[in-house]
Structure 1
Amino acid sequence: MSTLHWVGLMVLAMIAGAVVPFQSAINLNLGRGLGHPLWATLASLLVSIVVLLPVMLAMRLPLPTLAFISKAPLWMWAGGAFGVCFISLALMLLPKLGAAGFMALALTGQVVASLLLDHFGWFDLMERPISLAKMSGVVLLMVGVGLIQFSESATKNLVATG
């Protein structure tokens, strides 16, 4: 792949990450209005379906085969449950940790889990061994999380809302 292609992929990945705190903050307000975070989780997932179906129809995607659906292992269907987990926890933790604190901690969890997925090649991923450089990156990330979450202003917010 060319350098320009890699840069494009990295920019798209950053955009994917950038929309998450907006989603969380918007869903937090939706949950307040609907009376509970789980109602916002359900609404978010329903809106996802409403937005996704026309895109799939416009792309004229073929229907999946019943043979695959009937034979797919249960773990392949767990993605939706993980989505519910993330959205619901974001709605419950965002007011307590703040957007930056929650996202920093969520990102740390994502990176650590991703290193394990890559290292062991779980779920048919290509094995990419954990290296000293990658572990150093995780340690630096955790230091960054500490600076974000436990800076003076974050401590004041925790005391004020706790």
Structure 2
Amino acid sequence: MTMWHWAGLGALALMAGAVVPFQSAINANLGRGLGHPLWATLASLLVSIIVLLPVIIALRLPLPSLAFITQAPLWMWAGGAFGVCFISLALMLLPKLGASGFIALALAGQMLASLLLDHFGLFGLAQRQLTTPRVVGALLLMAAVALIQFANAPAKALAAA
């Protein structure tokens, strides 16, 4: 992979990550307005379908294979459940933890889970051994999460006193 190819993919990954706090903050407000976070989760998923269907039609994508749909292992369908879990938890936790706190903790959880997925090569991923530098990187990330989440704790405690 060339440096420019990697840079382009990296920029797209940064954009994918950048939309998460916006999605979470908007959905948290939607949840308050609709009366419960699960209604906002449902609304978010319905909007996803409404946005995605015209794109699929415009690209003239062929219908999925019925044989694959009927034979795919159950774990392949878990992505939707994980999406519901993430959206719902974001709706409930973002107002309590703040955008930076929630995203920092969610990112730390993603990093830890990613290290395990890579190490064991789960779900068809290429196996990438858990090395000391990767563990140190994860620990640094956890330290950054703690710094982001608790940096203002003493100031809040003093202000409340």
Q: TM-score, normalized by length of structure 2?
A: 0.95
What is the rounded CA distance, in whole Å, between the counterparts of 1:155 and 1:4 in structure 2? 44
Partner of 1:70: 70
The answer as to whether partners of 1:148 and 1:154 remain within 8 angstroms in 2 is: no
Partner of 1:99: 99
Q: SS at the partner of 1:78?
A: helix
Shift of 1:37: 0.4
Pair 1:153–1:130, CA change in 2 (3 A): same
The answer as to whether partners of 1:149 and 1:155 remain within 8 angstroms in 2 is: no
What is the rounded CA distance, in whole Å, between the counterparts of 1:52 and 1:155 in structure 2? 45
| Cα offsets for 1:76-130 (capped at 9, x unmatched) | 0000000000000001101111000000000000010001001101101110111
Partner of 2:137: 137
Partner of 1:81: 81
Residue 45 of structure 2 aligns with an amino acid whose one-letter code is: L
What is the rounded CA distance, in whole Å, between the counterparts of 1:9 and 1:16 in structure 2? 10
Identity %: 72
Partner of 1:33: 33
Structure 1 stretches of 4+ with a deviation exceeding 3 A read none
Shift of 1:154: 8.2
Q: SS at the partner of 2:56?
A: helix
What is the rounded CA distance, in whole Å, between the counterparts of 1:120 and 1:30 in structure 2? 38
- State the number of aligned residues: 159
Partner of 2:44: 44
Shift of 1:156: 2.1
The answer for unaligned runs of 5 or more in structure 1 is none
Partner of 1:149: 149
RMSD: 1.5
Alignment of 1:120-131 (within 5 A): 120-131=120-131
Q: SS at the partner of 1:64?
A: coil
Q: SS at the partner of 1:62?
A: coil
